[in-house]
Structure formats: structure tokens, C-alpha cells
Amino acid sequence: MSVGQLPVVARGLIPDERFASCRGTVMDANPDMSQEMAGRIVEEALKFVAACSRNPGVGLAPSRIVDDGWHALLLHTAVYAELCEELGENFVHHFPGYDPTNYDPAILERTRQAITDLGYVPDVELWGDPSDETLAAVAAQCQHAPECTIRPMPKPEWP
């Protein structure tokens, strides 16, 4: 993949074995979770990181469920660094914070729209209220919104 070009399926942003490893991290943190659900979560996290990288300064945020997949990507530091490098100029930093009252549907809608604008289809079931654990209970204790939305920082230019 060259910078500027995204794969049709977000899962293609990282090699299959790395995707499987990140999916395994989600499953390790959430022992009762199915492999299929963990895969959906990691794929949404990939879409989220791509949207953030391509929309610096917009202020996007993951849902609590998607944030668990983002955490899995972050734990695979080499994979994550390569992903951000492939996506372009903006490294997507994580600023943890948790307050379930931070739930802001407008920020999540803006994030889903940014994902759609890249040509991906958001898995809307994974973008809901942080207290709704009927679909998937996750270990992530983060809820980003509104003061801790994600604003990617350009790569520093070294002399």
C-alpha cells in the first residue's frame, strides 16, 4: 500500500498474522469474547486510526468498544508504528481518559462519517453508548469525548 491509497477492506491495513495477533490481544483482555467479535473490534479500530490520520484537527473519538481494539493495536507497538507510517503524515496518539458521562453521540457520528468518507462501512453496532454492554462487554476503561477527542499530531521534522 502506498501513502494515500487505502485498501478496500480496513483489515488489509495490516498483514493477516498481525491482525490475528491484535485480535488475540482483544480476546485475552475479554476472555468470554468470540474470535468473530474480537475481529470486528480490531477492524473498527483500524478504520478509526485511518480516519484520524486522514483528518487531523477534526477531533474524532472511538466508542468504548472500538477503543478496546485500538488498545490492542497500541500494545503491538511495531505494528502500530508501521500502520501510522503507512497511513501518512499524522501519527495518531492515544490520550487515555475515562468518564462514561463523556459519551457524545455527535463526536461518534462525526467519526463514523470520517470512516465512511474513506470508503469504509462502519460497523454501527460497535459505535454505541459506553454503558451498553449487550453486544460486547470490553475491558477498556476509556471514553474519549468531548475534551479528549483525538487530534493527530504531524510527524516531527528532524534536522
Tell me the pTM: 0.81
Q: 41 lies in which domain range?
A: 13-154
The verdict on residue 37 lying in a domain is yes
> What is the 3-class SS of the chain, one letter each residue?
CCCCCCCCCHHHHCCHHHHHHHHHHHHHHCCCCCHHHHHHHHHHHHHHHHHHHHCCCCCECCCHHHHHHHHHHHHCHHHHHHHHHHHCCEECCCCCCCCHHHCCHHHHHHHHHHHHHCCCCCCHHHCCCCCCCCCCCCCCCCCCCCCCCECCEECCCCC
d(CA 126, CA 124): 5
The verdict on residue 99 lying in a domain is yes
The verdict on residue 88 lying in a domain is yes
Local confidence band at 140 (pLDDT 50, 70, 90 cut-offs): low
Number of folded domains that form the chain: 1
pLDDT in tens, 20-63: 999 999 999 888 899 999 999 999 999 999 999 998 888 888 88
